[in-house]
Chain A
């Protein structure tokens, strides 16, 4: 006790408790008021799990994937930890959106909380930034290709598109520099920005008090919050709303703790049951992979499928930008003093349209058939080795596959429909035997070993175009007569 008195004299603990915990709050705060604190709790969970995951992570394309595998295989509770971080990310997006809907529905962004709404929108953007940057870190197929598409979307921005892509990727190509900067943003910049924004957001809530229920702020209110009489009215009505004798602790904090604990429990259960996905390692040479973004980016993903290509740039960049401007400007153009959503038809219609549209697009994306390339059988290890050879031998310098590569030599997009592996093997070994005027170099030993030629041939037989016919191809391979010594 003497120690407490000593500390209190210096840190003013008793007054701090009175100001923070014992402060009176409006009567009849609902369970919906716990969503903000639940978001904060899940953020703390993300900090704890993320900090430990970062100690086992290598932000380099050479080792990122292996280090994730190391976490799941070698680190105690590593799989669970990854799962919690993965599901926690989704939970944060759900909770922050739910929190925003709650604030919207009770008109809590109106006077005097306009500025805190703007900070809140900033927090939402930071959370989406966390999702986008965190996604790349496992460096698996989904990470690589979803980020390739995501950064390409930024590239469709008028005028500054190319510069924006280079800025995001740290260069023109998605690679080591991209991973390093996404990692730095994910673990340094964004947490710093988020912490500052959260601190400001909460300080403002403490100073302004928790928003009262709409009914207590509507009776006898001037029609517009712009009315000079409104601030005076608000002060009186808000003071009157605290008539219930409710205190922040335990009346508010108790509910917050219950909902937060339940949320964390759900996240941990989802993590334990489903874990976090990890696909095959990122393979930039695999052009058949069709990436799908995480669910919260699905609306924009699906929207892009529905619009003609000429409008794509407008939609991909325009829709989120317009949405952001609407969110930021909301408290400044919505000046009506009515707070209950049910009494605000335009707001209700807008919210229903937005949520309905997003829900519809997510649903449509869920039902959409996988891309044509998905139906291709996965490559065998031999075929994959062949594909790697195709890259390392610079075959694409002269040959086209699905529009990618040089035009010097024949297009190989459907070569697997025309020739068998055996024919391709012989041809690769000595092209001039087949076509005396062929300019293709001979790849027979010692350029490539027979095994390598076979791998390459096996890979080439898999090239059968975007929509290969169901029937097996009929080859009409003709071999030149054997060479005489």
Chain B
């Protein structure tokens, strides 16, 4: 080939090889780099998890105007580890037909509140927050927002709630 004759270096060949260096280098980088970067960043654009409906029980076992606490074990997918967490919700019904289900964590800092039977309110022991049984509204203390009520449904006489956790300590009810 003429381009390889000693002393003569073809300019066209040089230009091609210069471009080849840049394009080849960029192609190698992109081919490996893009999947790697996508994989590394994938937790930030992860789709939200599926809905988690909890079976709470037959509706006629919940007495009107008496809140009931339901504990349940939640199977949690923690990346590649399966763990279990004990969670709880409070159920309140005025008439045995419509139900309110509250997330069992106080909206202030996440302690488990309990039923103060004397005053007939929910009371959080950590910083003495008070909530209304019927609406979940804050009656006193530091909690920034009412109790987090959950989506509920009744199917074949069974009460279900869609369990969700919300950001704590802030006035807005924002899903975690």
Residues of chain A having any CB pair with chain B under 8 Å = 27-28, 41, 44-45, 48-49, 51-53, 55-56, 58, 63, 66-67, 69-71, 74-78, 80-81, 84, 243-246, 249-251, 253-258, 260-261, 264-265, 268
| Neighbour of A261 across the interface among B9, B16, B24, CB < 8 A | B24
Cα(A257)–Cα(B9), bound, Å = 19
Residue of B at shortest CB range from A255? B17
- CB atoms of B24 and A257 under 8 A apart: yes
Cα(A282)–Cα(B4), bound, Å = 57
- CB atoms of A45 and B28 under 8 A apart: yes
- CB atoms of A258 and B24 under 8 A apart: yes
Cα(A63)–Cα(B83), bound, Å = 12
- CB atoms of A264 and B27 under 8 A apart: yes
A-B contact pairs, 15 of them (CB 8 A): A27-B4, A56-B39, A56-B79, A67-B80, A75-B42, A77-B42, A244-B7, A246-B9, A249-B18, A254-B18, A254-B24, A255-B20, A257-B22, A261-B28, A261-B31
| Neighbour of B21 across the interface among A55, A58, A250, CB < 8 A | A250
- CB atoms of A48 and B33 under 8 A apart: yes
Residue of A at shortest CB range from B27? A261
| Neighbour of A245 across the interface among B9, B20, B27, B39, CB < 8 A | B9
Known pairs A66-B80, A76-B45, A261-B28; A48 contacts B36 (CB<8 A): yes
Cα(A75)–Cα(B36), bound, Å = 10
Question: Main SS of chain A's interface residues?
Answer: helix
Cα(A96)–Cα(B34), bound, Å = 25
- CB atoms of A70 and B79 under 8 A apart: yes
- CB atoms of A80 and B25 under 8 A apart: no
- List B26-59 residues whose CB lies under 8 Å from chain A: 27-28, 31-36, 38-42, 45-46
* Chain A: minimal CB distance from B103 (Å): 26
- List B105-134 residues whose CB lies under 8 Å from chain A: none
Task: List, in ascending order, chain A residues with CB within 8 A of B46's CB.
Answer: 74
| Neighbour of B32 across the interface among A48, A74, A76, A251, CB < 8 A | A48
* Chain A: minimal CB distance from B34 (Å): 8
Task: List, in ascending order, chain A residues with CB within 8 A of B80's CB.
Answer: 58, 63, 66-67, 69-70
- CB atoms of A258 and B20 under 8 A apart: yes
- CB atoms of A76 and B38 under 8 A apart: yes
Cα(A336)–Cα(B45), bound, Å = 62
Cα(A44)–Cα(B31), bound, Å = 12
Residues of chain B having any CB pair with chain A under 8 Å = 4, 6-9, 14, 16-25, 27-28, 31-36, 38-42, 45-46, 79-81
Task: List, in ascending order, chain A residues with CB within 8 A of B19's CB.
Answer: 254
* Chain A: minimal CB distance from B126 (Å): 34
- CB atoms of A81 and B39 under 8 A apart: yes
- CB atoms of A257 and B42 under 8 A apart: no
Cα(A427)–Cα(B17), bound, Å = 80
Q: By CB atoms of chain A within 10 A, which of B8, B14, B21 has the most?
A: B21
- CB atoms of B39 and A78 under 8 A apart: yes
Task: List, in ascending order, chain A residues with CB within 8 A of B18's CB.
Answer: 249-250, 254
Task: List, in ascending order, chain A residues with CB within 8 A of B41's CB.
Answer: 76
Cα(A159)–Cα(B158), bound, Å = 71
Task: List, in ascending order, chain B residues with CB within 8 A of A66's CB.
Answer: 80-81
Cα(A261)–Cα(B7), bound, Å = 29
The 7 closest A-B pairs by CB, nearest first: A254-B17, A257-B24, A250-B17, A76-B42, A261-B24, A77-B35, A66-B80
- CB atoms of A45 and B32 under 8 A apart: yes
Known pairs A41-B28, A52-B36, A77-B38; A257 contacts B20 (CB<8 A): yes
* Chain A: minimal CB distance from B163 (Å): 21
Cα(A250)–Cα(B7), bound, Å = 16
- CB atoms of A81 and B20 under 8 A apart: no
Known pairs A76-B45, A265-B31; A243 contacts B39 (CB<8 A): no
- CB atoms of A52 and B17 under 8 A apart: no
Task: List, in ascending order, chain B residues with CB within 8 A of A80's CB.
Answer: 35
- CB atoms of B20 and A265 under 8 A apart: no
| Neighbour of A260 across the interface among B9, B28, B35, B38, CB < 8 A | B28
* Chain B: minimal CB distance from A214 (Å): 17
Task: List, in ascending order, chain A residues with CB within 8 A of B23's CB.
Answer: 257, 261
* Chain B: minimal CB distance from A33 (Å): 13
- CB atoms of B42 and A245 under 8 A apart: no
Task: List, in ascending order, chain B residues with CB within 8 A of A49's CB.
Answer: 32, 35-36
Task: List, in ascending order, chain B residues with CB within 8 A of A69's CB.
Answer: 80
- CB atoms of B14 and A84 under 8 A apart: no
Cα(A265)–Cα(B27), bound, Å = 8
Residue of B at shortest CB range from A66? B80
Task: List, in ascending order, chain A residues with CB within 8 A of B21's CB.
Answer: 249-250, 253-254, 256-257
Task: List, in ascending order, chain B residues with CB within 8 A of A244's CB.
Answer: 4, 6-7, 9
Task: List, in ascending order, chain B residues with CB within 8 A of A255's CB.
Answer: 17, 20
Cα(A148)–Cα(B68), bound, Å = 56
Task: List, in ascending order, chain B residues with CB within 8 A of A53's CB.
Answer: 39
Cα(A253)–Cα(B7), bound, Å = 19
- CB atoms of A52 and B40 under 8 A apart: yes
Cα(A63)–Cα(B41), bound, Å = 22
- CB atoms of B6 and A243 under 8 A apart: yes
| Neighbour of B25 across the interface among A76, A251, A257, CB < 8 A | A257
Task: List, in ascending order, chain A residues with CB within 8 A of B9's CB.
Answer: 244-246, 251
- CB atoms of A245 and B7 under 8 A apart: yes
* Chain A: minimal CB distance from B33 (Å): 6
* Chain A: minimal CB distance from B56 (Å): 30
Cα(A161)–Cα(B17), bound, Å = 53
- CB atoms of B6 and A251 under 8 A apart: no
Residue of B at shortest CB range from A65? B80
Task: List, in ascending order, chain B residues with CB within 8 A of A257's CB.
Answer: 20-25, 28
* Chain A: minimal CB distance from B70 (Å): 30
Extra contacts besides A76-B39, A81-B35 (8): CB < 8 Å:
A52-B39, A55-B40, A63-B80, A76-B41, A245-B6, A254-B19, A254-B24, A264-B31
Cα(A264)–Cα(B27), bound, Å = 8
Cα(A465)–Cα(B8), bound, Å = 76
Cα(A66)–Cα(B25), bound, Å = 35
